[in-house]
């Protein structure tokens, strides 16, 4: 009976040592703080990212418009007038 109790206590102490070393390597509180800080940073910079995305979309629309105009100028099908790309070329 006494040996069983000692074995169980030894196993418990061994498990506690493994658990302590695991939490030293993978600190869940540190991971939580890091994720919270990164989430706050994302929330604070979302407006700036939205502005940049809108700028990129408008820039690419403008480039597409210029390209369609150039295609329409050199196209024998003038009814397109640059609104649609001539995909047969």
Contacts of 68 (CB under 8 A, 6+ apart): 82, 83, 84, 85
What is the separation of C-alpha 89 from the centre of its chain, rounded to a whole number of angstroms? 38
| pLDDT tens per residue, range 6-46 | 999 999 999 999 999 988 888 888 889 999 999 999 999 99
Closest-CA residue to 64 (of 45, 83, 44): 83
78 occurs within a structural domain: no
pLDDT tier, 86 (very low <50, low <70, confident <90, very high otherwise)? low
Tokens of 78: 């003038």
52 occurs within a structural domain: yes
Whole-Å CA distances, 52 to 44, 47, 69: 14, 9, 26
Number of structural domains found in the chain: 1
85 occurs within a structural domain: no
pLDDT tier, 70 (very low <50, low <70, confident <90, very high otherwise)? confident
83 occurs within a structural domain: no
- What is the domain extent for residue 35? 2-73
Tokens of 85: 């790309």
pTM here is 0.47
């Amino acid at each position: 009976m006494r040996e069983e109790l000692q074995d169980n206590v030894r196993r418990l102490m061994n498990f506690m040592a493994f658990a302590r070393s695991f939490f030293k390597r993978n600190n869940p509180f540190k991971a939580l703080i890091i994720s919270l800080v990164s989430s706050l940073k994302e929330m604070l910079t979302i407006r700036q990212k939205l502005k940049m995305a809108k700028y990129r979309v408008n820039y690419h629309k403008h480039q597409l418009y210029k390209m369609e105009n150039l295609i329409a100028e050199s196209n024998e099908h003038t009814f397109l007038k640059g609104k649609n790309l001539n995909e047969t070329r």
